[in-house]
Every structure is written in structure tokens, then in C-alpha cells.
Amino acid sequence: MKQQLTVIKIGGNIIDNPTELTQFLSDFSKIEGYKVLVHGGGKSATKMAQSVGLTPKMVDGRRITDAPMLDIAVMIYAGQINKNVVAELQANGTNAVGFTGADGNLILSEKRNHPTIDYGFVGDVKKINTPLLQKLIELDITPVFCAITHDKNGQLLNTNADTIASELAIGLSEVFEVTLNYCFEKPGVLYDAEDDSSVIAQIDSPLYAKLKDEGAIHSGMIPKLDNCFNSLSKGVQKIKIGHHKMLKNADAVCTTIQL
């Protein structure tokens, strides 16, 4: 029988709020069994870029990562944020180790090839090094991944943290029974983005298609949910989206994703 493992991705709004982050990391540390944490960068990279005279570029809501912005992303994601998170987890009794995808060749990506848009140094995940990751986890090491991967040709790549969490969950489901949680500032996926009481308790594939057609689900929630359904179709056991309080309260309002 496979052992339980929890993969959790935290959104930028948790990273940006020291009080929320401290509470989340305390709750995360109390989760029993094996676990993996994935984090994005919040607003810190944008602030750092602006402080040195760089203007972040976006196309259709997606960040363009040129060489100077990649340097900022690596400094903030793999450096400042990752190491602060690891240090605080250690303070909570969790033996965490921070990783980029380049460390141990744990996450291999390729530079995004789009027919009309040059995203710069943005990576799309190709392969998870499940055997090495399994060994680390079974040594009671809690991996903490930032949103930086590599192409094994010496190039670091800025990579969507939601996708990293999904691909890690898929890869690890070969050897563990995996639950994937996406934690952010909202209580779940909402019918109305302005109404926190409009949580959709359960979303399956037919309902997802209907909600997209109606425009109730749009923008950044679409790639997040696409990742969820892809994960479920490839072996992940359970997926929840919601506020991090769902980690310590099984009855907390959240959204469960089902095929």
C-alpha cells in the first residue's frame, strides 16, 4: 500500500502577507506524513525589478521573462523567499530543504516555444526526477520548491508554480498516494469573484466546461483548474483549492476537484 503524501502550492498573496505566511507554515508543519511545498514569488520580484529601473512585461496576463527579469526571479524566488520559508519551517520543527528544479536535476523543463509570443526564459516542465525525490522524502526531508527550473543545458527558466505543483504531484503519484492542495487567499473557486460566500463546493469536468462557457471561471483560474484535471487524470488521488485554514480544519469551506 502506498504511503500518503501531500503536495501544497501557496499563492503570492500568502507570500506577501507575513502574518498569513507564518500561520500557514505553522499549519503546514503540523500535517502528518510526507509533504512537499511549492511557492511562487508574490509581488517581491516586481518590486525588486522596479527598484532597479526594470518594467515587468505582461502579455495576456502572462509574464515575459527577459534576461534581467530572470536574474531578479532567481534572486527573489530561489534566494530570498525560498530560504526564508525554509528557515521558518525549521523553526516549526520541519526539516525542509529548498530546491530549484536544477538541484539534483529534480525538475527538467524546456524553454517555451510559442508561435507568436516570445516569453523569454519561461519554462514548461518536461520531466520530474521521481526516484531522487522519493529518496529525499523518505529521508524525512520536506522539499520546498520555488518557481525556477532548468533545461539541463545550463539555462535556468522561470516556471509557473501551479504547474510545478501539478507535475510534482503527478510524478510522485507513481510511488505515493498524493493529495494536491492549492492554497490562496480565497475560500475556494467562486461563482462570483467579488463574493467569498459563493464557493463552488465541487467541480467535475462537465461543470467546469459549463462554468467556462458562462464566463464564471476565467483568467488565471482556468490554467489552475486545467492543471487540476490533468493531475487527476494521471494518478493524483485528491485535489482541493481554498484558504490555507482547510489544512487544519477538515470541515473548512473549499472546492474539491473531481473528474
What pLDDT, in 10s, does the model give residues 92-145? 999 999 999 999 999 999 999 999 999 999 999 999 999 999 999 999 999 999
Q: CB burial class (10 A; 0-12, 13-18, 19+) of residue 9? A: buried
Q: How many domains does the chain have?
A: 1
Cα dihedral sign, 92-36-250-12: positive
Contact 180, 172 (CB under 8 A): no
Full domain range(s) for residue 201: 3-257
For residue 61, name the pLDDT band (cuts at 50, 70, 90).
low
Q: Is 41 annotated as a binding residue?
A: yes
Specify the pLDDT at position 218: 86
Specify the pLDDT at position 193: 87
What pTM does this model have? 0.96
- Alpha-carbon dihedral of residues 64, 67, 69, 75, nearest 10 degrees? 140
Q: Is 62 annotated as a binding residue?
A: no
pLDDT at 76 over 70: yes
Q: Is 123 annotated as a binding residue?
A: no
Q: Is 112 annotated as a binding residue?
A: no
Number of Cβ atoms within 10 Å of the Cβ of 134: 17
CATH number of the domain that 76 lies in? 3.40.1160.10
